[in-house]
Amino acid sequence: MDKSAEQQASTGISSLVDDWSSDKQTFDMPWGKLMMWIFLLSDTFIFSVFLTAYMSVRMTTTADWPPTSEVFALVIAGQHVPLLLIAIMTFILITSSGTMAMAVNYAYQGKPQRAAKLMLLTALLGASFVGMQAFEWSKLIVDEGIRPWGNPFGAEQFGASFFLITGFHGMHVSVGVIYLAVIANRLRKGFYTDKGYHIVEITGLYWHFVDLVWVFIFAFFYLW
Amino acid sequence: MPHTAIADQPDESHHPTKFIWKYIWSQDHKVIAIQYAVTAIFVGLIALVLSGLMRLQLGFPNTFSFIDPSAYIQFVTMHGMIMVIYLLTALFLGGFGNYLIPLMIGARDMVFPFLNMLSYWVYLLSVIVLLASFFVPGGPTGAGWTLYPPQAILQGTPGADWGILLMLLSLAIFIVAFTMGGLNYVTTVLQARAKGMTLMRMPLSIWGIFVATILGLLAFPALLVSAIMMLFDKLIGTSFFMPALVSMGEQLDYSGGSPILFQHLFWFFGHPEVYIVALPAFGMVSDVIATHARKNIFGYRQMVWAIVAIGGLSFIVWAHHMYVSGMNPYFGFFFATTTLIIAVPTAIKVYNWVLTLWKGNIHLTTAMLFAIGFIFTFTHGGLTGLFLGNVVVDLPLSDTYFVVAHFHMVMGVSPIMVLFAAIYHWFPKITGKHLHKGMGNAHFWVTFLGTYAVYLPMHYLGFLGVPRRYYAMGDTDFIPDSAQTLNASITVAALIVGLAQLIFIFNLLHSLRKGKPAGANPWGATTLEWQTEHTPPRHGNWGTHLPEVHRWAYDYSVPNAKDDFIPQNVADQDVVMVAVPETAPLDVSQQAIDLGPGEPS
């Protein structure tokens, strides 16, 4: 067996490692993008711990869990409509992921003005999500008397974990809205003409992440 | 590749000239590293004084009127938290991580210098918030460094009003600072290496710091979340961790929370934290040993994989800190098993250090003394870990001085031995001056022998059943009076060790001004940081050209090479050879290549 054949035979994990480790840059992407990925991985752990803690207190608490389908329902024309508000909010956030993806696409096509407009639209959708969340919070607090330290329906951990986790997520969305607005404004002014448009994709990574987290929060709080 | 452009260009980065931009608001990783190190050593000295006060109380109870039970437990808490987080984590990653990563992998700086600068200033803020708790009404928290609720935030615990708030806030701020630094370290190692510096050619120091940083980025979230939740419990009366309870005859408003949840979250952070401290120590000690034994590290690949394996395993062993929490026995069985599995990669590392020393040309420099001292203390600390990892052995030993002795040997003394080794080893590069060898040796022997005088008897106290965190023993039937004599002797030894650190501090300050000039590469080391144009390296590190790497980090005593080390940036054709006897193989350059197991084929 000659040497090259021998090398080809030595596939498996060790050759994979050699190949992967031999480049100057481990991942073929800009520094900022990799950093965003690693940050999101760390942030994933934050949200995972939040949600795990929520599941844990929900299972160990002594009192009954409030009837979520009623607590979260809107009353429209005298009818309890469960999940209506939250369905709209989720729809808006997922739509914003779509506009974000289009912005990335236009940025890489070299159309920064169009990309900037779509980013602003994304920010607007994000802001309306936060607005609806504020509406939902005020409804829960004012109309139904739910507080972080107690509520009339049952286990007080409901209010505590709901406000803490959706609040933490809402903060992420708000930060994202500001981030999008700043980047879109720079994009509009031609700040990235020489630097390249990776920044749009990096912003997009953050935005999609915030969306994805929402899907889990939605499932664990509203559907469970 | 398009995005390496910044790193490949000749150094065009902006060099600051004014003092304030050069040394205060500096974005240079070397200056930031020194800022981190000085701050960390400063708080570390405070924690050292606290431990001295604790020992005074334990050794000579009823002698010091200013140490009351509350003050004692506050000292315990602050000593532990400062040492683990604000000294060890900050000094290993913020200090040495910052200094060594760009220099050892051949980069000009971290990938995002501004974020790096911010990381230090936020860390400093967290330290200030922490130290502020000494000056608020009620003083710092006395909840123990584990901060277990419900007791941590209830009246009766010292510092339950203000101290605990500042502690939790400070931890949250620290985590923000660490995240900003950590993202930089990981991205720099992955993306900004010099040409030829493959991952499997990186010095083990970098591997240790790299994996430890990843652990930090994944483990600190658990502490952040539990800190936020406990702040909520304290401030606005939620009940995440608080069950319904009666405190001082009063029914409190809490109900239905889970204190055990906090323990799980805390130790999901807390156990990886052990390795956040230990892995950089493992890496750095490997480089010190190889350099001063003039021999390549034994089993480089094994060492790398052991670091990665320990890092991975550290996430599935946390509940071994909670055997006494009443967990399901099957749960305990699982965690005992995973805990004992960690002994395998760890033992591989210890064997490899010893095998590196085997037949090496050992230079007993101060750095090497501390490195060898580390092998002793770490082995001893590790062996008692085998006791505590087993549920049935842990139950009677839990919360005794045996545990105190164990974790001080394994994650107190051992990493600090490596820190000293690292400081003695890298000080000449950082300042251009040697540390004084006589003072260094005195410092080593007092510290090394002193730690044994302190911690060996503690194991015995633990077997007697002496509980930890107690202010005084009082009259207890099962503890003989001789235990008190032992306690007094431990205190004397601890104070001597504490005072010996003054030699070290004096040595640092003295050598900074009057130390012998070191030159660029005083130890004859192979790694890149010793090959810089200037010592100490200037802003941008490498002058006009980035180094190019041709070999792994451990080409010491290569047969037939003229020098007993070949720096990483020397190409095969540039290696100076001695005349080769006719019987030896002629193609020496080929031989040099074969020695490096890190060669991609």
What confidence tier does B597 reach under pLDDT thresholds 50, 70, 90?
very low
Average pLDDT of chain A, as a whole number:
89
B198 interaction partners in chain A (CB closer than 8 Å): 21-23
Across residues B428-450, what is the average pLDDT?
96
In this complex, the residue of B1, B218, B601 whose CB is nearest that of residue A7 is B601
What confidence tier does B595 reach under pLDDT thresholds 50, 70, 90?
very low
Which residue, B331, B178, B153, B169, is CA-closest to B247? B153
Residue A168 in tokens: 């933490």
Q: Out of B167-176, B510-519, B589-598, which region has the weakest mean confidence (pLDDT)? A: B589-598
Contact B225 A18 (CB under 8 A): no
Q: How many residues does chain A have?
A: 224
What confidence tier does B599 reach under pLDDT thresholds 50, 70, 90?
very low
Across residues B485-498, what is the average pLDDT?
96
In this complex, the residue of A35, A149, A155 whose CB is nearest that of residue B183 is A35
Say whether pLDDT at B434 is over 50: yes
Question: CA nearest B192 in A: which residue?
Answer: A25
Positive or negative, the Cα torsion across B121, B123, B125, B127? Answer: negative
Across residues B313-324, what is the average pLDDT?
94
Contact B237 A148 (CB under 8 A): yes
Contact B191 A156 (CB under 8 A): no
Interface test with A, best of B1, B3, B300 (most A CBs within 10 A): B3
- Interface confidence, given as ipTM, is 0.91
| DSSP one-letter code for B136 | S
Measured CA to CA in angstroms, residue B215 lies from B210, B219, B438 at distances of: 9, 6, 38
Q: Which residues lie across from B556 on neighbouring strands?
A: B565
Q: Out of A14-18, A121-125, B315-319, B391-395, which region has the weakest mean confidence (pLDDT)? A: A14-18
Q: How far is B71 from chain A (nearest CA, A)?
A: 32
A161 interaction partners in chain B (CB closer than 8 Å): 240
Task: Determine contact: A57 vs chain B, CB below 8 A.
Answer: yes
- State which amino acid sits at residue B15: H
A24 interaction partners in chain B (CB closer than 8 Å): 1, 4, 193-195, 197
Contact B197 A22 (CB under 8 A): no
Task: Name the packing angle between helices B29-59 and B69-81 (round to 10°).
Answer: 150
Express each pLDDT in B341-379 by its tens digit: 999 999 999 999 999 999 999 999 999 999 999 999 999
Say whether pLDDT at B592 is over 50: no
Contact B240 A157 (CB under 8 A): yes
Residue A222 in tokens: 């509203």
Express each pLDDT in B100-128 by its tens digit: 999 999 999 999 999 999 999 999 999 99
A164 interaction partners in chain B (CB closer than 8 Å): 228-229, 232, 238
In this complex, the residue of A7, A20, A34 whose CB is nearest that of residue B187 is A34
Tell me what pLDDT residue B582 has: 60
Interface test with A, best of B202, B239, B551, B590 (most A CBs within 10 A): B239
Express each pLDDT in B508-566 by its tens digit: 999 999 999 998 999 999 999 999 988 899 988 888 888 999 999 999 999 989 899 99
* Most confident range, picked from B22-26, B424-428, B575-579: B424-428
- State which amino acid sits at residue B583: T
Domains within chain A, CATH numbers bracketed: 31-223 (1.20.120.80)
Q: How far is A65 from chain B (nearest CA, A)?
A: 11
Say whether pLDDT at A222 is over 80: yes
Question: CA nearest B193 in A: which residue?
Answer: A24
Tell me what pLDDT residue B393 has: 93
What confidence tier does B18 reach under pLDDT thresholds 50, 70, 90?
confident
Q: Out of A13-22, B222-231, B296-305, which region has the weakest mean confidence (pLDDT)? A: A13-22
Q: How far is A141 from chain B (nearest CA, A)?
A: 15
Contact A39 B179 (CB under 8 A): yes
Contact B261 A60 (CB under 8 A): yes
Average pLDDT of chain B, as a whole number:
91
Residue B84 in tokens: 């683990």
Tally A–B CB contacts below 8 A.
Answer: 142
Q: How far is B196 from chain A (nearest CA, A)?
A: 7
Q: Out of A118-122, A132-136, B77-81, B515-519, which region has the weakest mean confidence (pLDDT)? A: B515-519
* Most confident range, picked from A5-14, B21-30, B550-559, B590-599: B550-559
Cα B482 to chain center, whole Å? 35
Contact A27 B190 (CB under 8 A): yes
Task: Determine contact: A10 vs chain B, CB below 8 A.
Answer: yes
Contact B239 A45 (CB under 8 A): no
Q: Out of B9-18, B58-67, B399-408, B494-503, which region has the weakest mean confidence (pLDDT)? A: B9-18
Across residues B2-27, what is the average pLDDT?
64
Contact A53 B224 (CB under 8 A): no
Tell me what pLDDT residue B601 has: 39
In this complex, the residue of A25, A35, A46 whose CB is nearest that of residue B225 is A46
Task: Determine contact: A26 vs chain B, CB below 8 A.
Answer: yes
- The pLDDT > 70 percentage for chain B reads 94
Express each pLDDT in B253-272 by its tens digit: 999 999 999 999 999 999 99
Tell me what pLDDT residue A21 has: 64
Contacts 24+ apart (CB under 8 A), B470-477: B471/B57, B471/B69, B471/B72, B471/B73, B472/B57, B472/B58, B472/B61, B472/B62, B473/B61
What confidence tier does B488 reach under pLDDT thresholds 50, 70, 90?
very high
* Residues contacting residue B526 through CB under 8 Å, at least 6 positions apart: B291, B551, B553, B554, B555, B556, B565, B566, B567, B568
Tell me what pLDDT residue A79 has: 82
Tell me what pLDDT residue A18 has: 67
What is the number of H-type helices and E-type strands within chain A?
8, 2
Interface test with A, best of B179, B255, B263, B269 (most A CBs within 10 A): B255
Contact B197 A24 (CB under 8 A): yes
Tell me what pLDDT residue A20 has: 66
- The pLDDT > 90 percentage for chain B reads 81
Say whether pLDDT at B598 is over 70: no
Say whether pLDDT at B235 is over 90: yes
First-to-last alpha carbon distance for chain B, in angstroms, is 22
Tell me what pLDDT residue B190 has: 94
Are B400 and B461 within 8 A, CB to CB? yes
